[in-house]
Amino acid sequence: MRFRVLACDYDRTLATHGVASGAAVSGLRDVAASGRRLVLVTGRVLDEIRDVFTELDTFDRVVVENGGVLYDPATGGQRLLGPPVSADLVADLRDAGVEPLVVGRVLCATLIESESLVRDAVRRLDPDREVIYNKNSVMVLPRGVDKATGLRAALDDMGENLEQTVAVGDAENDVVLISAAGVGAAVANALDVVKEHADVVLDRPNGEGVRTLCTALVDDDLAALLAGPSGGRAAGWVAQR
């Protein structure tokens, strides 16, 4: 078995409009049944993902807050992977009328329309944090904390490694995720910048693309997908279902 772990983004990758498709979940279960491990890597905070996704126990580890917190569904244990979000920063954003404002243990996030207010607050109050894009939202995180560092922490916890990991995503914050993995995949609805960094660009969007990737992983350890014309990172080869 060449690839032992599948790491998957949630919104607009596994899920459409916040809801994971039954086909995608079935594919993930097939991957788990094949003896492989599963890691969910999402920008959502833990309470959010619990509210919209009832299959967290399908995963061996869950990285939430865009790499800020590691969660073990089997034990319920959580570990912060960065310093807590500043109460002063959160209060300043609320005073400035930034809404909606999602506040986690390490991360805070809002819509991209408030980007200038967020950047100003970070510059004044917490310059050791940075602003990260996620399509129509912006997230504030400690410098050096992202989905790739979160994935590494999850793999270390599980005794696995990046070279034997496949990662799939769709947005700016997933570029580091798929670039760090042994094989990076982009769903069909992914941003161009994600596709440019992917080894495999799937021909199906969202959960349908994840299902395609799961089937290919179980069937032949991605041999057919990786035997495309270019076969390397940023090849832009489209995997046929």
SS3 168: strand
pLDDT class of 227 with cuts at 50, 70, 90: confident
Q: How large is the average pLDDT for residues 112-127? A: 97
CATH 3.40.50.1000 boundaries in the chain: 5-80+145-239
Q: How many angstroms separate the CA atoms of 63 and 106, rounded?
A: 12
The CATH superfamily of 5-80+145-239 is: HAD superfamily/HAD-like (3.40.50.1000)
Q: How many angstroms separate the CA atoms of 191 and 193, rounded?
A: 5
Q: Given this model, what pLDDT does residue 228 score?
A: 62
Any idea what DSSP says for residue 185?
Answer: E
The 10s digit of each residue's pLDDT in 30-67 is 999 999 999 999 999 999 999 999 999 999 999 999 99
Q: How large is the average pLDDT for residues 191-219? A: 97
Question: Does CATH number 3.90.1070 belong to domain 87-142?
Answer: yes
Average confidence score pLDDT of the chain: 94
| DSSP line for 67-126 | GTEEE-TTT--EEESSPPPPHHHHHHHHHTT--S-EE-SS-EEEEGGGHHHHHHHHHHH-
Q: Given this model, what pLDDT does residue 239 score?
A: 41
Higher local confidence (pLDDT), 239 or 195: 195
Closest by alpha carbon to 3, among 111, 232, 161?
161
CATH 3.90.1070 boundaries in the chain: 87-142
pLDDT class of 18 with cuts at 50, 70, 90: very high
